[in-house]
Structure 1
């Protein structure tokens, strides 16, 4: 949880919060909380925290009574030495194998896969956050006879209305909204011709400027198309600002090339917004029949999908379908599924 505002941060935060909430509600023993001496926080009912210290490489007292260690990321590390702690069971969550779908060089793909495989080899149970990811893992990795489950991420229910800060840019006309890191994988530049074909709209893309060269190229393309005055790239914004943009946008546009899940898709659907996605990786699994999918990134094809989708989204039945799809993803249900996996192997 080193980087706030990242998807992995929210995943870890919400999973720990909701699992501990379940344990409190069902009067089960809470996981022990280990904190440095300078921290004085209540043991109950806050979630489990382990703040890594240098000496943990040699001495790991928190593992003595630990039954299940959950490694929450396929590109991270698994800390326990199972030779020293043979009683300990390891659960590994694999969010995606996006490196296979981003056009990376072969050596980069193989290095990433080798690391993920090393974590799989140290694990007792594998959890994938989508069926797409599970299929990727079974195709490109060796799982053997280890159980492999699919547990979708949950999504927090967003407030129905919120007041954003006064300094927030609030357009005077309708706008399309994109959310995500600005880099090649997110593919936001393909929206610029769509902006050109819809002169009544603005495009706002919020998120970290992850690749400055990509951002510069996007601005250059916007200037060439004559739409730079209707493009806004404010970078990171507060949670309140994100919610305001979701509440007021015309539609969410998410042409990403690779996603393990796609949290922003469900967040937009909670507000009944039409969502336009690429048909790649896990996005059709998350968006379901309630989303609209660009058949290609050709400007005319995107425009046809966009206009037809906006019209279809005004239908009450489709509005109902959008909200129903959003309701499929709930952190309490997700936490219960994880807790069941923990309990099944804890002994």
Structure 2
């Protein structure tokens, strides 16, 4: 295998999905390459002071002087740009032989009610990266459809490779962030209007024996305030908990111990927390929007709309079906369709297709 570099610039955000994506892809591709006695794929990571990532021999640390000269590009044959609004480092005029793989996670701005100006600016940025790429990977068929409808890919190959799932095992007896006093519902994601968590609050009104915990960065303070104010008006504020980002151990504890996982998001390119919950056999309740039906498949329950009565009816009917049909095993089997080993093999095939 010729030399490959994965640009991990966005790993400077430690609680993001892109951090996990880069870390897992790098580790699993290099595991496969080691088995074949092939050279490592290097991970081009931010300065180490910004990372908690243990050192590996395939880490290539970004330096300030790389702005002037990038000697590591001389032997690079494939550059993997892992995000549709990120960067592509190789200059094609200086390094015409380097092939570029671009991963597009989503074009969610098309589904979030953004202004036409914002959408066009974002699309133009993605199109500029497509123009500089030799192959495109989308993380769902839905994302691929968006790309083909709104961008020009010419005759460049466009692949669909799902994100993988690492098997999780509980390693703590109780979470550090917050331990609930009763059964609880769980959500995981940035706290902003796109995630649409406020539509779930009527479930607390209808189910006084439940708490609701939503993990994730408080991305939009106004939305977080609205969530608290709405919960207070509904008389459920004491059973809504928004602890922010938590450790991986805490997250696993919440996934393993929740009654159900809920993800009413308006726009997703994939939706990794959905299959993270499914690996524990948990019932998941999703919106029907963007990629979520593709990821959840027949193993999930779906909200056809977000009216309070609809949300409650879907939840009640879903929980009843889950218990009566003993769905846990089929849900686990569905989650097992997704693995980083499989994902890494598919990416290796894409890399190899470009360099022969």
TM-score (norm 1): 0.94
Once the two structures are superposed, residues 116-137 of structure 1 have per-residue CA deviations (whole angstroms, 9 ceiling, x without a partner) of 0000000000000000000000
Give 2:262's match in structure 1, choosing from 241, 253, 258.
253
Q: Which residue of 2 aligns with 1:144?
A: 154
Q: How many residues align?
A: 341
Q: Please say if 1:126 is aligned against 2:126.
A: no
Q: Please say if 1:218 is aligned against 2:234.
A: no
Report deviation, 1:312.
1.0
Q: Which residue of 2 aligns with 1:189?
A: 198
Q: Which residue of 1 aligns with 2:39?
A: 29
Structure 1 portions without partners, runs of 5+: 40-44
Give 1:113's match in structure 2, choosing from 108, 120, 123.
123
Cα distance in structure 1, aligned partners of 2:81 and 2:87: 7
Answer whether contact 2:29 2:41 (CA < 8 A) is retained.
Answer: no
Cα distance in structure 2, aligned partners of 1:122 and 1:321: 42
Answer whether contact 2:175 2:249 (CA < 8 A) is retained.
Answer: no
Change (3 A) 1:35 1:135: closer
Q: Please say if 1:79 is aligned against 2:114.
A: no
Once the two structures are superposed, residues 8-63 of structure 1 have per-residue CA deviations (whole angstroms, 9 ceiling, x without a partner) of 01000000000000011121222357799999xxxxx9363333333323311111
Once the two structures are superposed, residues 122-178 of structure 1 have per-residue CA deviations (whole angstroms, 9 ceiling, x without a partner) of 00000000000000000000000000000000010001x321556442222111001
Cα distance in structure 2, aligned partners of 1:291 and 1:38: 40
Change (3 A) 1:134 1:235: same
Cα distance in structure 2, aligned partners of 1:38 and 1:220: 40
Answer whether contact 2:47 2:63 (CA < 8 A) is retained.
Answer: no
Q: Which residue of 1 aligns with 2:68?
A: 58
Give 1:345's match in structure 2, choosing from 328, 331, 354.
354
Give 1:14's match in structure 2, choosing from 10, 24, 39.
24
Cα distance in structure 2, aligned partners of 1:14 and 1:35: 13
Change (3 A) 1:217 1:52: same
Q: Please say if 1:306 is aligned against 2:315.
A: yes
Change (3 A) 1:318 1:32: closer
Answer whether contact 1:90 1:124 (CA < 8 A) is retained.
Answer: yes
Deviates more, 1:111-120 or 1:100-109: 100-109
Q: Please say if 1:179 is aligned against 2:172.
A: no
Q: Which residue of 2 aligns with 1:42?
A: none
Cα distance in structure 1, aligned partners of 2:106 and 2:165: 18
Change (3 A) 1:192 1:31: closer
Instruction: State the SS of the aligned residue for 1:210.
Output: coil
Q: Which residue of 2 aligns with 1:322?
A: 331
Q: Which residue of 1 aligns with 2:52?
A: none
Structure 2 portions without partners, runs of 5+: 1-10, 50-54
Q: Which residue of 1 aligns with 2:8?
A: none
TM-score (norm 2): 0.92
Give 2:101's match in structure 1, choosing from 63, 80, 91.
91
Answer whether contact 2:175 2:250 (CA < 8 A) is retained.
Answer: no
